[in-house]
């Protein structure tokens, strides 16, 4: 694992291995964001009410990463008995810890907002993170704006505004207008914050590489382990203050699907959300920040269909228009990226031919 170098330097792995890594991380991201959102909404639908617990679940699966980290260390130790336990230097881990605090806050905003808005609406709102990812990527990692990017931003923003103008048709049973607006604003806030987090992750990778650390997938997993641990610790403090740990047994007994299924939902939510976060940082490592943002938007229709089938949510005409605008924006952005990559390839080929004897 620790011999895999990032693709923006001369690659040490084969192209096939790189494509496999990209595909694997894309699959984890897609499975995680779709399944995680559905199970988090199911928790609320069937009688759950602890927002800090719902936030905790999004990174509570971080111990799963101890397995690949331990395997990486064992491999290094077999080759070098004096190998360090962790590849990441302290300053990189400190930066990951800071990002972890932001992730913890983002988890709470999302979990609180999801209690009052349907997951089909939440998915469209979260897709606006591409708008903020583009903006923060421009400021932090100098990702430049293009016409398709601006078009995508405008369409995604319009879709979110359309949802906001049709509050009455989107509120769930027992949700007041004020609660819906609170959920709407908190979910948008989560999209803004995650739009900041992804470029910060890429910036952390760049600083690690500049500092002389070999930027490998093993190091990326170590950073995600630290981010997940800190985010979970942040939410654990919230659970303690809110007395969520004492409420869990009572909530499990009153869960409409039964006590055993209550804990099953919690465990699988933690596992699937961990897939999402590991997939997201993996995509950023293998390609770049904006592809991770695009993929989150790509899985909107999957989440929409799944929420209608499994959670029996309403799919109003307003949601349909907002979804079309979001997908249009996504297509516009993707086409712009493809065109730019194709132009760069042609320029590079022309330059190589001009230099050839």
Written as tens digits, the pLDDT of the chain (357 aa) is 343 444 444 444 477 888 888 889 999 999 999 999 999 999 999 999 999 999 999 999 999 999 999 999 999 999 988 888 888 888 889 999 999 999 999 999 999 999 998 887 888 788 788 778 878 887 886 666 677 777 777 776 777 666 666 555 567 778 888 998 999 999 999 999 999 998 899 888 888 877 667 788 899 999 999 999 999 999 999 999 999 999 999 999 999 999 999 999 999 999 999 999 999 988 888 877 777 877 887 787 788 788 888 888 877 777 677 777 777 877 777 777 778 777 777 877 777 777 766
- Evaluate whether residue 185 is within a structural domain: yes
Region of 47 (left: φ > 0; alpha: ψ -120 to 50; beta: rest) is left
- Evaluate whether residue 4 is within a structural domain: no
User: How many independent structural domains does the chain possess?
Assistant: 1
- Evaluate whether residue 352 is within a structural domain: no
- Evaluate whether residue 1 is within a structural domain: no
* Domain residue limits at 274: 15-344
- Evaluate whether residue 10 is within a structural domain: no
> Residues near 9 by Cβ (< 8 Å), separated by ≥ 6?
209, 215
CA distance 287 to 202: 10
- Evaluate whether residue 350 is within a structural domain: no
- Evaluate whether residue 6 is within a structural domain: no
**Tokens found for residue 351:** 């330059």
Query: Using alpha carbons only, how large is the chain's radius of gyration in Å?
Result: 21
CA distance 116 to 178: 10
User: How many other CB atoms are found less than 10 A from the CB of residue 146?
Assistant: 16
Q: In the 8-state DSSP scheme, what is residue 216? A: B
- Residue pair 277/59 in contact (Cβ under 8 Å)? The answer is yes
- Evaluate whether residue 111 is within a structural domain: yes
CA distance 198 to 204: 10
Handedness of CA 8, 11, 15, 16 (dihedral sign): negative
């Amino acid at each position: 694992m620790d011999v895999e170098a990032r693709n923006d330097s001369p690659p040490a792995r084969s192209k096939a291995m790189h494509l496999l890594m990209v595909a694997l991380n894309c699959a984890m991201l897609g499975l995680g964001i779709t399944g995680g959102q559905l199970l988090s909404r199911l928790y609320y639908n069937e009688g759950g009410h602890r927002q800090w617990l719902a936030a905790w679940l999004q990174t509570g699966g971080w111990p799963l990463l101890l397995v690949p980290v331990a395997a990486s260390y064992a491999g290094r130790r077999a080759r070098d008995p004096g190998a360090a336990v962790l590849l990441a230097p302290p300053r990189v881990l400190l930066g990951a810890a800071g990002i972890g605090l932001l992730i913890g806050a983002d988890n709470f905003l999302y979990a609180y907002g999801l209690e009052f808005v349907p997951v089909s609406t939440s998915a469209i709102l979260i897709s606006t993170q591409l708008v903020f990812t583009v903006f923060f990527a421009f400021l932090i990692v100098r990702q430049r704006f293009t016409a398709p990017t601006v078009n995508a931003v405008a369409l995604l923003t319009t879709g979110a505004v359309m949802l906001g103008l049709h509050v009455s048709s989107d509120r769930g049973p027992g949700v007041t207008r004020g609660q819906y607006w609170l959920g709407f604003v908190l979910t948008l806030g989560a999209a803004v914050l995650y739009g900041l987090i992804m470029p910060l992750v890429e910036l952390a990778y760049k600083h690690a590489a500049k500092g002389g650390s070999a930027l490998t997938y093993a190091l990326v997993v170590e950073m995600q382990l630290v981010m997940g641990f800190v985010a979970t610790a942040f939410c654990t403090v919230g659970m303690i203050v809110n007395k969520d740990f004492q409420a869990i047994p009572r909530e499990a007994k009153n869960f409409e699907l039964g006590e055993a299924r209550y804990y099953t939902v919690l465990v699988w939510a933690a596992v699937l959300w961990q897939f999402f976060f590991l997939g997201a940082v993996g995509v950023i490592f293998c390609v770049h920040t904006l592809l991770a943002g695009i993929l989150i938007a790509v899985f909107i229709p999957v989440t929409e269909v799944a929420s209608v089938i499994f959670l029996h949510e309403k799919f109003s005409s307003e949601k349909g228009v907002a979804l079309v605008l979001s997908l249009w924006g996504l297509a516009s952005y993707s086409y712009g990226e493809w065109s730019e990559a194709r132009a760069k390839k042609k320029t590079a080929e022309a330059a190589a031919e001009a230099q050839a004897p």
